[in-house]
Structure 1
């Protein structure tokens, strides 16, 4: 089943890429409406929008998911239910496809909820307490966005159609449309894990690594960004856009800082995803939606590769994810580590790799724009933090000696996993330049002063040097983390957001729900409602049945009782 899915997805990926390029060059859009059922004046219509953006994005999603499924053949080899796992992944991809091609809020909700439901199934795939907690946090955090989308659908009923694509131009001049836009932005924030909904994204690492490679690169977390790219008109020169810029900048900063305190390999990469999502959201809120989409695609390539390499290392380390137990992997697993390094350098924005074309362009455009000092600082400092945690990861896992006391047979002989990784390695090298030529047909000339032009490169080099110092010097000479324990605890636990989310989203609402159920539904309303009625009718019907038994003793007894009552009343009177 893996091979059939792999070849089918690869074929569709190339087909959609060719279609997308032809649509892009010819400026062609295909809008399909399919009337499912018509009853009197009511017509249920399914709509699809095929333009260059949706086709190219679908092509990338299918490419990454095909390689992830191929990779899973070896990674999930010990799983007896591997076909069920593949079917879940395919359902996940199908939900994403539905979301991408929908210009209609109703059909978007179908894909949106499909992603939420299947992601819950995949997060709890390894059935243990940690997975159940992570799955519940993921599902309930995303439900907030689902409710916002439902409210937007309800409000949009006033316009006579849910095809938001027709109302994009009117959105900026209409108060109601601004309200709908606010709800859509809230939905996008929950799905893309912006502050204060960030805690579910690292928790979702409880899923198998191939799922993480798919979810955290091109599907679930990017659904919110993609939705807001479609609604980008709402974010330009509006209060929602300014608020979004602040929130996404803080998300980027918080995730970059947190990754420098983390020792779990998968969580470092998850926080890296969160940081990049903040970057996409912030440049989108400034109105540069093409740049956000460009970085969305390039990020998907190297982040999926990064997760796959991490999965191969974890697989070889007997499921150990702590980077402190790793070391010297460049001698044991040279090919995997080469892929990891290329993905890491692409993430840092190394010239001429995939990430360079999008990140460098974003930062130069930010330098060119009218932007406040705080947001400017967040952009560049977060970029430095990205390089810092990347070099820290390299220092801990690749250099030095193996720090694990037990014997590990580390090798590069997982050929199926390596073939999956090499496909993405190729795309991580050429993907950025290819997309740059496609999306921006005329070269972008950003003219800046010399020192401002060198600022991006300087920040990256400084971040890399700081990453080395944080790993080497502080580890052996003066352990900063333990000296400033409160500070490192605050930064290392995502500004205490997981605790707030766990208690605010799961514990207290569920406890309140249980109390209300026991007090009202199963308490007072039962006592004065259905149960009381049932017991009363039962009691009176039993009495009636006794009376109707035609027993002379009963009638005599009743007669005597009535006589006594009458005599007593006469006596009182």
Structure 2
């Protein structure tokens, strides 16, 4: 039995167990808090805490289920790799770090899971050892370090409350006028969930193998920030919420716009993840943390399947990721393309697929809220852009002309990969309604005028038509984009964020660090500090060694000479 099958069975069993426990806890309205005291300093206890409630158990079951399918899928996708066992172990470490983060109501144990995610994600992004992967890994690791430092500072500030268990103090954090902890937690969540201005690492992380992308972009790394804020929902003040709403809406709009100009299959799906993360952050900032969790879980299902389908296509096309080479794949890979279309439609919010239940509810709750016109418009425009880039992608990959080499072997022969995808397809179709029945025992009552009620469907329809039409006239579209080259480059490069991140996070800080290290750390501070003391002590000891190694006559002679010298001097 291979290592993939062992991990698959292990994760699947614990996923089902966690799901059943979650239902039990939800019905009984029950939470379990386990505390192990490690050490106590000045009445500030350092505890290892585990929180089991319906939310953590439900999220954990989804993460385990998706990771079990991804590991099963990896057996065939990574079959040519000599180090497949190492790859599976890395993925398992990644999932276990996420588990630690999910069940921790304690900032110290959260930091362990948080840093574990950052470290293992770096190892997985540089898995294919080339210069592009190394650069992507470095920007991923360094961007996430900002959030790690914010979390460390939050831990230090938690000392004021006499403990690190934020679950007990989350209400007081909001009441406290110096809610520095909330600011730091929001900064940490923004870096991990790639909100503006930390967005550029997310498409760069596509250098990782596709099964990793499927896991990272659905339920683990990027959702860690959103999950942390869902847990902190009571500790966020009104001003911070409004700031988060603005950042989330801008991220959503920017990613939707950028995906319409992108030609790399995996990067389009990565930008769609970024767009959905912006949506989660925005609805969370409106105080609807349960809706954010609902969308987080439904999004995890269809996004994991979407990446698996993309991986299957890339695998068959000999590692080609450019959508301009694809086209007509529905004739060659009918089952994969069916999965691809269903998960894409779920992403668009097509009625009665899983994505519809969360997206439509979010848009209707937003419409019912008392907010300004800017937020309303940008939400619906971003929803339209999501549908536009999805239909553009479907046109290029499935309907358009086949532009790949005539010497090909493209088919649906990867049975293990198809089984891995088949495990997710039922939840992509039925998961939304099922989750809605589980999570909302009392349905939302939304009272809106008819035109506002159907606005989401209208925007979806317009976005789809626009995306399809623009793609159909691809030659005209590319000529138009050449006429407005600077604008096209600006939109396609995520509003110049990768350049800012490369120079702002990687290049200049590292050069400054090198200067400081060479001139101060290894320079003047060594010359005047440790090295100076060492040289003085060495010279003194060498002088004394001369005395010890020779006899007393020389010592007496030197003493006499010194006395004579002193007498002459005075």
Give the TM-score band, short-chain normalised. Answer: over 0.9
Taking the aligned partners of 2:133 and 2:478, their CA distance within structure 1 comes to 36
Q: Which residue matches 2:114?
A: 112
- Distance change (3 Å), C-alpha of 1:91 and 1:70: same
> Distance in 1 between the 2:291 and 2:219 partners?
16
Distance 1:348 1:459 in 2: 10
Q: CA deviation at 1:160?
A: 1.2
Superposed CA deviations along residues 519-571 of structure 1, whole A, max 9, x for unmatched, are 0111112222232333344445555556765699999999999999999x89x
Equivalent residue, structure 2, for 1:222: 223
Whole-angstrom CA distance in 2 between matches of 1:51 and 1:565: 86
Residue in structure 2 matched with residue 156 of structure 1 by the alignment: 158
Q: Report which stretch shifted further, 101-110 or 207-216.
A: 101-110
| Unmatched segments (≥5 aa) in structure 1 | none
SS at match of 1:33: strand
CA distance in 2, matches of 1:278, 1:563: 87
Residue 469 of structure 1 deviates from its aligned partner by: 2.1
Q: Spell out the pairing of 1:304-453 with structure 2 (5 A cutoff).
A: 304-453=304-453
Q: 1:551 to 1:79 in 2, by over 3 A?
A: same
CA distance in 2, matches of 1:423, 1:556: 95
- Paired with 2:334 and 2:362, the residues of 1 have a C-alpha distance of 33
User: CA separation of 1:454/1:516 partners in 2, compared to 1, >3 Å: closer, same or farther?
Assistant: same
Higher mean displacement: 463-472 or 298-307: 463-472
Greater alpha carbon shift after TM alignment, 550-559 vs 85-94: 550-559
What are the Cα deviations for residues 272-327 of structure 1, in whole angstroms up to 9, with x where unaligned?
00000000000000001111110000000000000000000000010010001111
Measure the CA separation in 1 of the matches of 2:414 and 2:200.
33
Distance 1:545 1:162 in 2: 56
**Where does 1:253-268 land on structure 2 (aligned, <5 Å)?**
253-268=253-268
Question: Would the aligned equivalents of 1:191 and 1:220 in 2 still touch at CA under 8 Å?
Answer: yes
Any conservation in 1 of the 2:161–2:169 contact (CA below 8 Å)?
Answer: no
CA distance in 2, matches of 1:338, 1:184: 40
Q: What corresponds to 1:281 in structure 2?
A: 281
Task: Return the alpha-carbon distance in structure 2 between the equivalents of residues 44 and 561 of structure 1.
Answer: 63
Contact kept, 8 Å, 1:474 with 1:480, in 2: the verdict is no
Residue 473 of structure 1 and its aligned partner are, at CA, apart by 2.0
- Alignment check: 8 A CA contact 1:33 1:48 kept: yes
- Which deviates further from its counterpart, 421-430 or 446-455? 446-455
Q: Which residue of 1 aligns with 2:7?
A: 5
Question: How far is 1:35 from its partner?
Answer: 3.1
Q: CA deviation at 1:183?
A: 0.9
Asked if the contact 2:33–2:50 (Cα under 8 Å) also holds between the matched residues in 1, the reply is yes
Give 1:55-74 correspondences, 5 Å limit: 55-74=57-76
Is the 2:45–2:163 contact (alpha carbons within 8 Å) kept by the matching residues of 1?
Answer: no
SS at match of 1:161: coil
Query: Taking structure 1 as reference, are residues 336 and 538 closer, same or farther at Cα in structure 2, changes over 3 Å only?
Result: same
Q: Aligned equivalents of 2:537 and 2:31: distance in 1?
A: 68
Tell me how far 1:444 sits from its aligned partner: 2.2
| Paired position in structure 1 for 2:489 | 489
Partner of 2:181: 180
Quote how far apart the aligned CAs of 1:329 are: 0.4
- Secondary structure (helix, strand or coil) at the match of 2:34 reads strand
Check whether the contact 2:200–2:501 (CA below 8 A) recurs between aligned residues: yes
- 1:445 is displaced (CA, Å) by 2.8
Aligned partners of 1:235 and 1:286 also within 8 Å: no
Contact 2:298 2:354 in 1 (8 A): yes
Whether 1:95 aligns to 2:94 is no
How many Å separate the matches in 1 of 2:159 and 2:124?
A: 34
Do 2:44 and 2:162's aligned partners in 1 also have CA atoms closer than 8 Å? no
Deviation per CA, 1:91-117: give whole Å up to 9, x if none: 111111111111111111111111111
Structure 2 counterpart SS, 1:211:
helix
* SS of the residue 1:45 aligns to: strand
Write the deviation string for residues 35-85 of structure 1: whole angstroms up to 9, x where unpaired.
346799675421111111111110100000000000000001011111111
Secondary structure in structure 1 of the residue aligned to 2:51 = strand
Task: Give the Cα separation in 2 of the matches to 1:226 and 1:539.
Answer: 61
Please state how far the C-alpha of 1:260 moved relative to its aligned partner. 0.5
In the aligned structure 1, how far is the partner of 2:139 from the partner of 2:437? 41
| Shift, 1:480, TM fit | 1.6
Secondary structure of residue in 2 paired with 1:336: helix
Specify the SS of the correspondent of 1:47: strand
Q: 1:121 aligns with which of 116, 120, 123?
A: 123
Q: For the Cα contact (< 8 Å) 1:263–1:323, is it kept in 2?
A: yes
CA change 1:545–1:329 in 2 (3 A) is same
**Partner of 1:196: helix, strand, or coil?**
coil
Deviations, residues 322-358 of structure 1 (Å, cap 9, x unaligned): 0011111000100000000000000000000010000
Q: Is the 8 A contact 2:471 2:477 kept in 1?
A: no
Alpha carbons 2:172, 2:235 under 8 Å: kept: no
C-alpha distance in 1 between matches for 2:35 and 2:361: 37
- Measured against aligned partners, the alpha-carbon deviations of 1:382-409 in whole angstroms (never above 9, x if no partner) come to 0000000000101111113310235221
| Aligned equivalent of 1:531 | 531
**Residue correspondences, number:** 567
Q: 1:48 & 1:338 partners in 2: Cα distance? A: 41
Aligned to 1:518: 518
Inter-partner Cα distance in structure 2 for 1:155 and 1:343:
43
Secondary structure of the residue aligned to 2:404 is: coil
SS of residue in 2 equivalent to 1:323:
coil
Q: Which residues of structure 2 form unaligned runs of 5+?
A: none
1:165-190 Cα distance to aligned partner (Å, 9 max, x none) = 112232332123x2211111111111
Q: Which secondary structure does the structure 1 equivalent of 2:324 belong to?
A: helix
Shift of 1:474: 4.6
